[in-house]
Amino acid sequence: MYVSPSSDANALSEWVTAVARELGLEEALDSATTVDMVLDLTSDVAHGVSRPGAPVTAFLVGVAAGRAEDPAVAARDYAQKVSRLADGWAGA
């Protein structure tokens, strides 16, 4: 069954909204920006390091950000740091 990109994006948006609500995070994040950040991060890790590393990395960034004073800012900063690390990983 073919799923159009717009229907996939709608499903993702609805899912993220539902999960944020379930976890009490509606006020804590901008879902569109967060989704883009996480997708970029996991793409960098999947292509630069390993596919299975992508969701684990997203989890680790989330845990680290959750410990910060401002989790939204920390998540963005940590995602950028880890993306740079992944970009240079092939040479590591």
Domains of the chain, by residue range, sit at 29-91
What does the pLDDT read at residue 90?
76
What does the pLDDT read at residue 18?
93
E strand or H helix at 67, and its extent?
Answer: none
Q: What is the mean pLDDT of the chain?
A: 90
Would residue 75 be called left, alpha or beta, if left means φ above 0 and alpha means ψ between -120 and 50 degrees?
alpha
Q: How many CB atoms lie within 10 A of CB 83?
A: 19
Residue 19 to residues 2, 16, 25, 56, Cα–Cα distance (Å): 25, 5, 8, 18
This prediction has a pTM of 0.83
Q: What confidence tens digit (pLDDT) does each residue in 12-38 have?
A: 989 999 999 999 988 877 777 889 999
Cα gap 69→20, rounded to integer Å: 19
Cα gap 69→8, rounded to integer Å: 34
Q: What confidence tens digit (pLDDT) does each residue in 36-54 have?
A: 999 999 999 999 999 999 9
Which residue is associated with the tokens 């944020």?
A: 20
